[in-house]
Amino acid sequence: MPAYPDDLDLDARYAAARDIALAAAALGMDYYRRRDSLTVVHKGGDMQDLVSVADRAVEDYIRQELGRRFPEDGLLGEEGGPQDLGARCLWVIDPIDGTTCFLNGLHNWCVSIGLMVDGRPWLGAIADPNHGELFHGCRGRGAFCNDTPLRVSAATHVSQGVTAVGTNHRLDSGPFLTFLQGLLAESGMFLRTGSGALMTAYVAAGRLIGYHETHFKSWDCTAALVLVEEAGGLANDFFRDDGLLRGNPFLVAAPGVYRQLEALIGPTLHQPIPE
């Protein structure tokens, strides 16, 4: 465990992450209520990757607030790209995680704000305005949903709960389908909600026993990874091989099922994403 960075005002950053996530989620809700009038584009022509005016407006707000309060910090956002990646404190944000759900009137989206310190996820806040939930945590201080402490599931077999799954349509679907077949063969159940940050937070909360994504991006999981670790869960080495910018395969789970899920996924969990 790395030394606690006492020379940084992490209390102020933790409070800011929570406050800004809640305010950004309220702004997102304003757009959500009038979503039928929003301009939407497909990023890179990818039908799976949507961005709306709301995504950009919410990210602009988060960037402005973080920049005003912590001008020395770096920032990596899904829509606006990187800013000062070499900074000791690096904010990693997803303004609306679950844009497709957002645009289709489904309540499975959130605002995710995470902070990396010295290259390691340190604190995070995930605001879900549809359900009135703020998931938040800080390394060494625990993880919470609003004021309730989080703890991962006590399951010891994949048949004892629900596993979240997700995949990128640009990848070969074979390994993912093999994983699903193996999960079903073990009497496991699975779901896909459309918001990776929320599914990861649900693992921390014990609502899901695990979550596997074939290709995840850092803005989807930086905040939530802190929650899983503080709640007693396990995670793969997501940030290896430039995972911060390129992304990687992803697995978080309760300790009692992590190795079983890892075995069902197979070697692709530890292999780099193809260029």
* DSSP per residue, 63-104: HHHHHHH-TTSEEEETTTEEE-TTSSEEEEEEEEETHHHHHT
202 neighbors 208 (Cβ within 8 angstroms): yes
For residue 183, is pLDDT > 90? yes
Residue 260 token pair: 């079983």
- The answer to whether the annotation marks 65 as part of a ligand binding site is no
Cα atoms in the 13 Å half-sphere on the side-chain side of 256: 16
- The answer to whether the annotation marks 273 as part of a ligand binding site is no
For residue 1, is pLDDT > 70? no
Residue 149: CB atoms within 10 A of its CB come to: 12
User: Which architecture, in CATH terms, is 158-270?
Assistant: 3-Layer(aba) Sandwich (3.40)
**Spatial CA neighbour of 99 closest among 166, 196, 206, 199:** 196
The model's pLDDT over 122-174, given as tens digits with 9 standing for 90+, comes to 999 999 999 999 999 999 999 999 999 999 999 999 999 999 999 988 888 99
For residue 47, is pLDDT > 80? no
The model's pLDDT over 217-237, given as tens digits with 9 standing for 90+, comes to 999 999 999 999 999 999 999
**What residues does each domain of the chain span?**
10-149, 158-270
Long-range contacts of 146-150 (CB under 8 A, 24+ apart): 150/204, 150/205, 150/206, 150/227, 150/230, 150/231
- The alpha carbons of the chain give a radius of gyration, in whole angstroms, of 18
Cα gap 204→115, rounded to integer Å:
17
For residue 273, is pLDDT > 70? yes
Supply the CATH classification number for the domain 10-149.
Answer: 3.30.540.10
Cα gap 20→9, rounded to integer Å:
17
Over range 50-65, report the average pLDDT.
87
Q: pTM (2 decimals)?
A: 0.93
Q: Give the rounded percent of residues in the chain with a pLDDT score beyond 70.
A: 93
For residue 193, is pLDDT > 90? yes
> Which pLDDT does position 48 carry in this prediction?
44
- The answer to whether the annotation marks 78 as part of a ligand binding site is yes
Q: How many residues does the chain have?
A: 275
> Which pLDDT does position 45 carry in this prediction?
47
Cα gap 153→134, rounded to integer Å:
19
